């Protein structure tokens, strides 16, 4: 039986019986085909040709270099208003603290998560409008784009918090360790909550809601004159514990966000 005859027989069988064809009959038809095993020299030649294209094991230094290269690509795609507004926000907070006798701890507590919240707005804006897929479609996947930008804005947030903490320490001579703990805890927890929401919603309404909730929480805490002294009196170990838990939650939410982005699982909110 030639290949042409066999093909016609297949066409006839499926035309007459469709999905009801018997497995044994399929097996019998498949047995008519013979596949010749390639010679040893052909196999070896194919392997040698493929080895050339196998990527070499990346060293830690090359991985680190690639990571910084990826982050550098994202800088130009994050809106300039985010970088400028976040910086002005912290500069204004520092100036207001110096000239209006505001408690440095209040300033750090209020400002610590704000750049990350604004950064999530920028990421969701780009993703909702379809720009993220278009911007780097030829270079990176959407999950890579999102995670790179989250790392970028998170790092920028940490840098701003560290700068204002050292600035307030040099200006007022406050407890540097305490002021660092005062921004680490809210930053990690609020960032975790933002990632949790971002992994399930892609609407721009998410950020105004988060800002409103955070603002109401801060006002509720600071409006009571006894709250800040109470927080300052807490043991540093408790702050460290909350900070560690916050970092763990932030890491878990980052992994979940990446997994959901890879699977394309998002719940849409109408703008």
pLDDT in tens, 41-98: 888 888 878 777 766 665 556 655 666 666 666 677 777 888 899 999 999 999 989 8
Give the burial class of 50: count Cβ atoms within 10 A of its Cβ; 0-12 exposed, 13-18 middle, 19 or more buried. Answer: exposed
Angle at 151 between CA 199 and CA 84, to 5 degrees: 105
Residue 260: count of CB within 10 angstroms of its CB: 17
Task: Kindly give, in sequence order, each residue whose CB lies less than 8 Å from that of residue 205, ignoring residues fewer than 6 positions away.
Answer: 269, 271
Contact 198/120 with Cβ under 8 angstroms?
yes
Contact 121/204 with Cβ under 8 angstroms?
yes
Count of helices and strands (H, E) across the chain = 13, 0
The Cα 122–Cα 100 span in angstroms is 32
Q: Is 52 helix (H, G, I), strand (E, B) or coil?
A: coil
Residue 201 has what DSSP assignment? B
pLDDT in tens, 202-216: 555 666 777 777 788
What is the per-residue DSSP string for 69-132? HHHHHHHTTS-HHHHHHHHHHHHHHHHHHHHTT--HHHHHHHHTTHHHHHHHHHHHHHHHTTHH
Strand partners, 267: 201
What's the mean per-residue pLDDT of the chain?
75
- The helix or strand, by DSSP H or E, that contains position 38, with its residue range, turns out to be none
pLDDT in tens, 90-148: 999 999 898 888 888 888 888 888 888 888 777 776 655 555 544 555 455 666 677 77
What pTM does this model have?
Answer: 0.65
Average pLDDT over residues 31-50: 77
Provide the pLDDT for residue 64.
Answer: 57
Average pLDDT over residues 230-249: 89
- The helix or strand, by DSSP H or E, that contains position 245, with its residue range, turns out to be helix 236-263
- The helix or strand, by DSSP H or E, that contains position 235, with its residue range, turns out to be none
What is the share, in percent, of the chain residues with pLDDT greater than 70? 62
């Amino acid at each position: 039986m030639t290949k042409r005859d066999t093909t016609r027989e297949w066409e006839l069988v499926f035309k007459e019986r469709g999905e009801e064809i018997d497995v044994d009959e399929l097996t019998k038809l498949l047995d008519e085909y013979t596949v010749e095993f390639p010679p040893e020299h052909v196999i070896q030649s194919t392997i040698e040709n493929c080895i050339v294209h196998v990527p070499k094991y990346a060293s830690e230094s090359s991985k680190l270099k690639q990571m910084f290269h990826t982050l550098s690509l994202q800088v130009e795609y994050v809106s300039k208003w985010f970088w400028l507004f976040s910086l002005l926000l912290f500069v204004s907070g520092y100036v207001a603290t110096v000239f209006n006798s505001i408690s440095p701890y209040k300033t750090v507590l209020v400002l610590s998560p704000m750049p990350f919240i604004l950064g999530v707005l920028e990421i969701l804006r780009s993703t909702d409008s379809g720009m993220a897929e278009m911007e780097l479609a030829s270079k990176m996947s959407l999950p890579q784009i999102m995670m790179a930008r989250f790392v970028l804005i998170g790092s920028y947030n940490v840098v701003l918090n560290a700068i204002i903490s050292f600035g307030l320490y040099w200006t007022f001579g406050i407890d540097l360790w305490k002021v660092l703990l005062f921004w680490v805890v809210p930053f990690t927890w609020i960032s975790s909550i933002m990632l949790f929401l971002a992994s399930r919603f892609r609407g721009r309404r998410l950020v105004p809601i988060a800002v409103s909730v955070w603002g109401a929480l801060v006002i509720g805490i600071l409006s009571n004159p006894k709250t800040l002294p109470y927080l300052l009196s807490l043991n540093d170990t408790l702050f460290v514990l909350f900070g560690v838990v916050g970092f763990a939650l932030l890491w878990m939410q980052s992994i979940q966000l990446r997994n959901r982005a890879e699977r394309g699982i998002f719940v849409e909110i109408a703008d």
